[in-house]
């Protein structure tokens, strides 16, 4: 699919250049025209290299900058080393300040893919961001989708799944709106990516749900790799749902396909979760076998993944318990190599890392817990009294709940009424959030009390508009300071502007957006009503089920569990 895309771009490029040449009343010589055709029709990198070099020389002689750009582009495609970057930079130098339907986006994309394949993720990310910036300026949705997806991939690789998730959702939403057959691939892979993120976050039901959707689209489009991949990925989701034997059946069924493709990435995940599932079922021998397969992939390919740590930790512990010092030392050395590579490639970011092999410390913690248990034996009477008190509180709470049943029903009916109104269409999902308004002269006078210039206020309001439209509030890691940093302002300004123009604190503003998005999603997709509260909370950006329930109750007056239960009754 990628090669077809590049051929189409090259042909379109040639067409545009020819039109430009005609408009400038410049006629190609027969020699130049023949070279263009040869370059376009070159079947190999070496042939393209030779022909595009001739094209570059003759284009310079004829002062044809348009075809010179095309020659540089073809040269970039002819190489797989740093020469590729040299020619990409030549195209960028000629086109970065000009209006063109796909330059310099295409060559920034070539650079980004080159660095990505070399695991140089910082440089790849810089180039993808350039693609994104130019795509926004030229309103090119194809490049916008591609760059957004690739940036999300890097976010996931470096251990930031919460930041990757809303980006994948943007790709899915954009692909769904485009009515082109080519977008089925973007649709499938955005669904797969969303499923993978939920797998990373151990949200098994969400991962399974998106895998099934992706599998259906892949089958409908006869996309073999997508069909195989989603079936294998479903095995990972089944593991997170504690359905270990089903997970093994799925993973082992489709692993041979990826072995035939020598797909290191997918095999690593497959072997990893097979090992974990067998361990959960108590089959340690097979578990160790799969963890050793993960090691064999690392030995042959030297491609590091953060999830490889766990298999090595299991292998080290297993052979330590077996008193096999030789193999224990072997896997300790491998884990050291893995860690060094992950850190060097800026993939593995240590967050609250604990040393699982500090046995004396673990033993000390164990003894402390045992002492605490012994001290608590003298307080069983108090525990029983506490249980009785809790039971009384629960009874009182139940009585209160019964009395409030009517009130809950009224609240539910209010939400149901809103569900049936047009205000929850795609154009307005945040009904409780005041609309952005143009700052009038009168409004500017009101801003003086904020001690912020009207230009800054208007800029931040526009940024908040994009923040809402692109669903960035679904990122559970977002904070006032992180958003202020993204807006190139400070938290104090942002807080004041949200208080004045959104009528609420930053925290309440986020919660309202998320709750309204939840209501819109429940309306549009009835299958979401089968999700757990925890999964739904993760879907809309809350860090846990409790914070989601509290926010929903605060703004809607009922618990989300009650709302879903009553909604399902009406549906039946």
Provide DSSP, 177-208: H---TTHHHHHHHHHHHHHHHHHHTT-HHHHH
Residue 315 is predicted with a pLDDT of: 92
Is the entire prediction scored with pTM above 0.75?
A: no
The yes-or-no verdict on residue 465 having pLDDT over 80 is: yes
The yes-or-no verdict on residue 153 having pLDDT over 90 is: no
Structure tokens at 313: 């930790």
Residue 352 is predicted with a pLDDT of: 30
Indicate the burial class of 282 (C-beta count within 10 angstroms; 0-12, 13-18, 19 or more). exposed
- For a pLDDT cut of 70, what percent of the chain falls above it? 78
Q: Which CATH superfamily is domain 242-348 in?
A: Tetratricopeptide repeat domain (1.25.40.10)
Mean pLDDT of 518-531: 82
Mean pLDDT of 240-257: 90
How far is Cα 514 from Cα 547, in angstroms, rounded to an integer? 11
User: pLDDT higher for 434 or 478?
Assistant: 478
Q: Of 15-19, 196-200, 556-560, which gets the smallest average pLDDT?
A: 15-19
| Alpha carbon of residue 210 to chain centroid | 13
The yes-or-no verdict on residue 421 having pLDDT over 80 is: no
Contact by Cβ (8 Å): 121, 158: yes
The yes-or-no verdict on residue 139 having pLDDT over 70 is: yes
How many Å is the maximal CA-CA distance in the chain?
101
* pLDDT interval class at 183 (50, 70, 90): low
Provide the 10 A C-beta neighbour count for residue 79: 17
Residue 488 is predicted with a pLDDT of: 92
Q: What is the mean pLDDT of the chain?
A: 78
The torsion of the CA quartet 58, 64, 69, 71, rounded to 10 degrees, works out to: -20
How far is Cα 9 from Cα 69, in angstroms, rounded to an integer? 13
Q: What DSSP character marks residue 358?
A: -
The yes-or-no verdict on residue 276 having pLDDT over 90 is: yes
Q: Of 157-171, 283-297, 345-359, which gets the smallest average pLDDT?
A: 345-359
How does 210-249 read in b/e, with b if 16+ C-beta sit within 10 Å?
A: bbebbbebbeeeebeebbbbbbbbbbbbbbbbebbebbbe
Residue 550 is predicted with a pLDDT of: 92
Residue 41 is predicted with a pLDDT of: 66
Mean pLDDT of 550-554: 90
Q: Which CATH superfamily is domain 407-571 in?
A: Homeodomain-like (1.10.10.60)
How far is Cα 196 from Cα 207, in angstroms, rounded to an integer? 7
Mean pLDDT of 153-157: 81
Three-state DSSP at 242 gives coil
The yes-or-no verdict on residue 399 having pLDDT over 60 is: yes
Mean pLDDT of 537-550: 90
* pLDDT interval class at 29 (50, 70, 90): low
Residue 272 is predicted with a pLDDT of: 92
The yes-or-no verdict on residue 223 having pLDDT over 80 is: yes
Sequence spans of domains, the chain: 242-348, 407-571
The yes-or-no verdict on residue 455 having pLDDT over 50 is: yes
Model confidence over 278-329: pLDDT tens digits?
999 999 999 999 999 999 988 887 777 777 888 999 999 999 998 888 888 8
Contact by Cβ (8 Å): 120, 142: no
Three-state DSSP at 356 gives coil
| Alpha carbon of residue 200 to chain centroid | 10
Residue 245 is predicted with a pLDDT of: 95
What are the CA-CA distances from residue 198 to residues 429, 512, 519, 534 (Å)? Answer: 24, 23, 21, 12
User: pLDDT higher for 56 or 248?
Assistant: 248
């Amino acid at each position: 699919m990628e090669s077809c895309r590049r051929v189409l771009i090259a042909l379109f490029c040639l067409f545009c250049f020819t039109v430009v040449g005609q408009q400038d009343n410049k006629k190609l010589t027969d020699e130049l025209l023949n070279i263009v055709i040869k370059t376009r029709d070159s079947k190999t990198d070496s042939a393209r290299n030779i022909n595009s070099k001739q094209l570059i020389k003759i284009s310079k002689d004829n002062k044809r900058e348009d075809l010179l750009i095309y020659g540089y582009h073809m040269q970039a495609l002819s190489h797989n080393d740093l020469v590729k970057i040299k020619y990409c930079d030549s195209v960028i130098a000629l086109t970065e300040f000009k209006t063109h339907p796909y330059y310099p986006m295409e060559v920034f994309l070539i650079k980004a893919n080159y660095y990505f394949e070399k695991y140089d993720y910082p440089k790849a990310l810089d180039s993808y961001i350039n693609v994104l910036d130019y795509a926004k300026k030229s309103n090119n949705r194809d490049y916008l989708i591609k760059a957004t997806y690739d940036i999300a991939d890097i976010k996931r690789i470096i251990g930031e799944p919460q930041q990757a998730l809303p980006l994948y959702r943007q790709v899915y939403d954009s692909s769904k709106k485009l009515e082109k057959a080519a977008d089925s691939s973007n649709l499938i892979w955005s669904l797969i990516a969303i499923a993978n993120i939920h797998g990373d976050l151990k949200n098994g039901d969400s991962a399974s749900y998106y895998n099934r959707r992706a599998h259906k689209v892949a089958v409908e489009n006869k996309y073999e790799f997508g069909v195989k991949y989603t079936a294998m990925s479903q095995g990972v989701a089944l593991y997170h749902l504690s359905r270990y034997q089903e997970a093994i059946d799925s993973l082992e069924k489709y692993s041979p396909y990826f072995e035939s493709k020598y797909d290191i990435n997918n095999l690593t995940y497959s072997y990893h979760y097979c090992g974990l599932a067998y361990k959960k079922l108590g089959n340690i021998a097979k578990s160790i076998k799969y963890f050793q397969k993960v090691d064999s992939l690392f030995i042959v390919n030297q491609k590091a993944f953060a999830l490889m740590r766990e298999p090595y930790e299991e292998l080290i512990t297993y052979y330590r318990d077996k008193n096999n010092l030789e193999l224990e030392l072997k896997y300790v050395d491998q884990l050291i190599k893995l860690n060094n590579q992950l850190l060097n490639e800026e993939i593995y970011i240590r967050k609250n890392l604990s040393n699982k092999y500090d046995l004396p410390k673990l033993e000390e913690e164990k003894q402390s817990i045992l002492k605490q248990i012994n001290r608590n034996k003298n307080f069983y009477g108090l525990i029983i009294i506490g249980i009785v008190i809790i039971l009384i509180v629960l009874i009182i709470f139940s009585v209160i709940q019964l009395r409030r049943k009517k009130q809950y029903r009224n609240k539910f009916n209010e939400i149901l009424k809103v569900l049936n109104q047009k205000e929850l269409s795609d154009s307005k999902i945040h009904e409780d959030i005041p609309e952005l308004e143009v700052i009038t002269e009168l409004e500017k006078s009101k801003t003086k009390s904020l001690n912020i210039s009207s230009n800054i206020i208007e800029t931040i309001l526009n940024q908040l508009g994009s923040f809402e439209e692109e669903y960035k509030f679904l990122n559970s890691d977002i904070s006032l300071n992180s958003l202020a940093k993204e807006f190139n302002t400070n938290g104090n300004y942002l807080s004041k502007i949200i208080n004045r123009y959104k009528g609420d604190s930053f925290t309440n503003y986020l919660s309202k957006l998320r709750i309204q998005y939840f209501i819109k999603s429940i309306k549009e997709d009835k299958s979401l009503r089968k999700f757990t509260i925890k999964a739904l909370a993760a879907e809309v950006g809350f860090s846990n089920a409790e914070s989601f329930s509290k926010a929903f109750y605060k703004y809607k007056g009922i618990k989300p569990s009650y709302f879903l239960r009553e909604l399902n009754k009406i549906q039946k």
